[in-house]
Amino acid sequence: MLEVPRRTVSTPKGESAVTAMPVLMTCVLAIIVTGLALVAPGAHLFELIGKMRMDEAQYFVAQGIYRGWWIAGLLLPAACAANLALAVSARRDRIALALALTAAALIALIYRRYPSETRGMRAARGAPIAHRSPARVS
């Protein structure tokens, strides 16, 4: 009978493989969800120069191809949550903790800035503006 040799998994700081596996799975999940969440902003960034050359009518026609991409925006909170979960699960590793918290903070910044960046375009095409800033009282 053929025997399969057993392999031991070496983990940092003497942790067992049983405790390291959830951290690894959380890390993989955070990387995948964050990558998917950055596809839509990346597409907009790469098309920005081409859109800048368009006149107003062409621009609004081109914007029609993005209908339904709001679903990709749902990945931003999921990516933020995945990175926060990674920060919690990898809290013993300072570098992983710092990187996960930085990723979560940057994703939260993208999510926070998006409504203010798109307010002008929504107002120009007559779409309702859902995210209004409170009126300033002088």
CA 20, CA 12: separation in Å to the nearest integer? 9
Q: Give how many domains the chain has, as a whole number.
A: 1
Q: Rounded distance, CA 32 to CA 44, Å?
A: 20
List CB contacts of 46: < 8 A, sequence separation 6 or more: none
- The token pair at 16 is 């067992």
134: in domain = no
pLDDT digit string (tens) for 61-97?
Answer: 888 887 888 888 889 899 999 999 999 998 888 998 9
Answer whether residue 60 is part of any domain. Answer: yes
Q: Is 14 a member of any domain?
A: no
**Token pair of 62 as six digits:** 């081109």
The one-letter amino acid code at 136 reads R
Domain assignment present for residue 42? The answer is yes
Looking up tokens 């031991």, which residue turns up?
8
Looking at the domain assignment, is residue 135 inside a domain? no
pTM of the shown model = 0.63
**What residues contact residue 106 under an 8 Å CB cut-off, 6+ apart?**
none
